[in-house]
């Protein structure tokens, strides 16, 4: 959560990481500070991600709130590295298998 102060007014800004399901059943992962607006953009705008513009309509399947933009971007990277099977488990609220830690 990002807190900004503008002329004495405190503005709280949340960031999100999300998973969309495209019309061709592929999954798209992104991050934003306005999830409703971003999903609408993916479905209607010429400025949507090129990937989703070609695979409309998209449906929001999953999202997580994050404390900051940095945290959302880091989580986005983690989610993108998951296999499709793991992403689908996450979407259906199933527990993901724990990754083995790399020994140094």
Within 10 angstroms of residue 19's Cβ, the number of other Cβ atoms is 22
Flag whether 90 is in a domain: no
* 13 found inside a domain: yes
Q: Which domain holds residue 22?
A: 2-85
Provide the pLDDT for residue 8.
65
- Residue 79, domain member (yes or no): yes
DSSP state of 16: E
Distance separating alpha carbons of residues 2 and 30, to the nearest angstrom: 18
What's the total number of domains in the chain? 1
pLDDT the model gives residue 93: 86
In a domain, 95, yes or no: no
pLDDT at 103 over 90: no
Confirm whether 102 is domain-assigned: no
Q: What is the mean pLDDT of residues 68-94?
A: 94
Whole-Å CA distances, 19 to 36, 58, 60, 103, 104: 13, 10, 6, 31, 32
Percentage helix, strand, coil, to 5, in the chain?
Answer: 35, 30, 35
Q: Mean pLDDT throughout 83-95?
A: 89
CATH number of residue 25's parent domain: 3.40.1440
């Amino acid at each position: 959560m990002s807190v900004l102060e503008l002329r004495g007014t405190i503005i709280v800004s949340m960031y999100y990481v999300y998973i969309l399901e495209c019309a061709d059943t592929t999954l798209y992962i992104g991050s934003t500070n306005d999830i409703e607006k971003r999903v609408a953009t993916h479905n209607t705008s010429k400025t949507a991600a090129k990937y989703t513009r070609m695979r409309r309509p998209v449906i929001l399947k999953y999202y997580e709130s994050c404390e900051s933009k940095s945290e959302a971007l880091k989580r986005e990277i983690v989610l993108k590295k998951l296999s499709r099977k793991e992403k689908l488990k996450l979407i259906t609220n199933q527990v993901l298998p724990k990754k083995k830690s790399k020994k140094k």
